[in-house]
Structure 1
Amino acid sequence: MSEEKTYSGSCFCGAVEFTVSGEAAAMGSCHYESCRHWSAGPVNAFTLWKPEAMEITKGEDNILTYNKTENSYRKSCNTCGGHILT
């Protein structure tokens, strides 16, 4: 039986940390205007994880939420502005 993989990440300053477990549901790149604004570039690379696969392990109270669109909740670090998730 194989062991489930766990990946960890953080914002730039380390005030917010998170883990994701298992396999990504999908990955790709997005060229839509909303994604380009979010990444401040011509394309935004992403991986999609099931909500239950992600856990904020540090700094949950330091996450800022911005509703760019009706269906999009962009989350970033309130200290450094580093993107956390959408």
Structure 2
Amino acid sequence: MSNEKSYTGNCFCGAVQFTVTGEPAAMGYCHCESCRHWSAGPVNAFTLWKPEAVKITQGADNIGTYHKTPASYRKWCQTCGGHLFTDHPGMGLIDVYAALLPELPYTPEVHVHYQETVLHVRDGLPKMKDLPKEMGGSGENVEE
């Protein structure tokens, strides 16, 4: 039996439910145009998890998928349209949107794709031009 902490989440209507277990690989904010457009907001608060940490506990057959590029497979509930997560197979990670994990202590560490921002945030966290090198980006920081 594992002592790892689990957190539960669900779509807007509750038809799709899931758990994440353990600790996220990273937490932060994405400012890319794609995330902004998908979320209909100026920034996306992300939590990145290894795929084995994410388990669908109800409604797996109700999950729709759209991928604009091979880098991101966006998932949503086909009943309510509520966004669930984005699978990033090239990174080997799944972005479970922070708002869907209300019990998770959200402690962002970084802003990514900050060169595309439409909402400037002065919080002292690193602002990356794109992504960290280990995730396929330049690893370059930009000014806050």
Give the TM-score, by structure 1 length: 0.94
More strand by percentage: 1
CA shift for structure 1 position 61 = 0.3
Q: Which has the higher contact order (CA 8 A, sep 6+)?
A: 1
SS class of match (2:18): strand
Unaligned runs of 5+ in 1: none
CA–CA distance in structure 2, aligned partners of residues 32 and 69 of structure 1: 14
CA shift for structure 1 position 71 = 1.2
Is 1:16 the equivalent of 2:16? Answer: yes
- The percent identity for this pair of structures is 75
Q: Which residue of 2 aligns with 1:25?
A: 25
- What RMSD, in angstroms, separates the aligned Cα atoms of the two structures? 1.1
CA–CA distance in structure 2, aligned partners of residues 25 and 70 of structure 1: 21
Unaligned runs of 5+ in 2: 87-144
SS class of match (2:38): helix
Q: Which runs of 4+ in 1 moved over 4 A?
A: none
CA–CA distance in structure 2, aligned partners of residues 12 and 55 of structure 1: 18
Is 1:40 the equivalent of 2:40? Answer: yes
Give the TM-score, by structure 2 length: 0.57
* Preserved contact between residue 34 and residue 68 of structure 1 (Cα < 8 Å): no
CA–CA distance in structure 1, aligned partners of residues 44 and 55 of structure 2: 22
Q: Which residue of 2 aligns with 1:59?
A: 59
CA shift for structure 1 position 38 = 1.3
**Max Rg structure:** 2
